[in-house]
Structure 1
Amino acid sequence: MTQYTALITGGSKGIGADLGQRLIQRGYTVVSLSRGTPEWSHDALHHVEVDLTDAKATEHAAKDIATTHNITHLIHNAGVIRPNLVEEATTDDLTALTQIHLGAPLILLQACLPNMKENQFGRVLFNGSRAALGVPTRTAYSATKAGIIGMARTWALELAQYGITVNVVAPGPVQTDNFWDIIPRGSEREAELAKRLPVGRLGTVRDISNAFMFFCDPENSFVTGQTLYVCGGASVGTLTL
């Protein structure tokens, strides 16, 4: 197989856009799923507008994509945070984030899996989070991002026999719109957070897409079921003496 097609959720901007552009540079076709129009364009980019919190809409989109494209790489990058303290957390938060972080990739994989099995090849990747280890104000987000790790490990065991690897990239604080929705861009709070990270800076979109590119590589077939924290050392520990 020489032609690869990557399905990227949230491929319209940020990490998903950077990854999509890099894959296209390597000759891939990219199908992007997002609620908004991509902030970039290319002849090899195909955009499908869908709200991944809507299971039925996601099922329809997944069926259409699997019919018209031979998906070799499924990259679930889209995510929502919904930050709040435990007193304000709701079951609606859990339901919505469970669908977008866990339900959507399940629906998409089930649609793409027959072709992957037939090809005896596939790369399934998740954008997880350092928050899976726990962060204040992240009840629903941490729970569902932690769920991604368990689901990915299970899929890795089930699908390895078909040449399909499943891995998680778990970013720490990264300069994206989701981050700046919570911590104002250029603020003192942002600067203080960067200082507290062992590497002394915030992550960039390119830092994260670098890790995704490793797992996407067809030559990397001996790594599966793993979670790689790309977090500037934030997952190592928070105690400073």
Structure 2
Amino acid sequence: MTAAERLLVTGGASGIGRAIAEEGLARGWDVVVVDRESSPVGTGVLADLADTDSTAAALDEVLAGGPVTRLVNNVGAVFPGPLQEQSLSDVDAAHGLNLRCAVQCTQALLPGMTEAGFGRIVNMASRAALGKSLRTAYAASKAGLLGLTRGWALELGPLGITVNAIGPGPVATELFTKANDPERVQQIVDAVPVRRMGTPEDISYSAGHFLDKRAGFVNGQVLYVCGGLTTGDAPI
């Protein structure tokens, strides 16, 4: 198994992350999942990614098996609520899990990618980065991922490493269900041009494209996988 065939997915034990892990296996890659829960897909490494020390230990364990040149920074949490009720601890927690973890994981894998002259990084952002009510902490941290994506694409492109982001719209996952009541879910579905919720597989298919060796000329891009919901909101 060569370095270019190893894929690390953070938060890949369920939901979108699990679908991406399954996509990686289907493409013949050696998939490693870091999550606080046991992963039913690939090789699982348990860690609390909200904690820097736990994250560092997990990354050491992963890299003990050799370099990893494909990374999906997928782990995240929503922390829903109006601005008046958004605690500073929630803001810090969102920054730590949704943003800091991506920086920490990418820094750890970067030497192996640099040596290989090849790398594929996908940051899992969100349509909420464009603006969404009741999402102060979440939207800010996901917008931060877009900034990282663009900056890293410029820095790392000359090294053979591409960095892209996916901004999922409403996707039927446990995380989404916990953050939205049934009435709100129906309102969202009614607003989606294709008139349905997305599935984790909708997102994993797009991630697979960005991760593919043949996608080397796609760099610094954000793909909104949202059934057309973002049309009219995002710049051309």
Tell me the CA shift for residue 188 of structure 1: 4.5
Q: 1:168 aligns with which of 165, 168, 174?
A: 165
Q: Mapping of 1:17-166 within 5 angstroms? A: 17-38=18-39, 40-41=40-41, 45-166=42-163
Structure 2 residue aligned with 1:216: 211
Distance (Å, rounded) in 1 between the aligned partners of 2:180 and 2:3: 43
Paired residue type of 2:10:
T
TM-score by length of 2: 0.94
Bigger share in helix: 2
Deviation sequence 1:45-69 (CA, Å, 0-9, x none): 2111111110111112112222323
Distance (Å, rounded) in 1 between the aligned partners of 2:82 and 2:184: 19
| Aligned positions, number | 232
Structure 2 residue aligned with 1:237: 232
Q: Secondary structure at the match of 1:166?
A: strand
Distance (Å, rounded) in 1 between the aligned partners of 2:202 and 2:27: 18
**Percent of aligned positions that are identical:** 39
Is contact 2:11–2:33 with CA below 8 Å preserved after alignment? yes
TM-score by length of 1: 0.92
Structure 2 residue aligned with 1:226: 221
* Greater CA drift, 72-81 or 194-203: 194-203
Measured on the aligned residues, the alpha-carbon RMSD in Å equals: 1.5
Paired residue type of 2:5:
Y
Paired residue type of 1:32:
V
Distance (Å, rounded) in 1 between the aligned partners of 2:230 and 2:219: 20
Tell me the CA shift for residue 34 of structure 1: 0.6
Structure 2, gaps ≥5 residues long: none
Is contact 2:4–2:118 with CA below 8 Å preserved after alignment? no
4+ residue stretches of structure 1 with deviation over 4 A? none
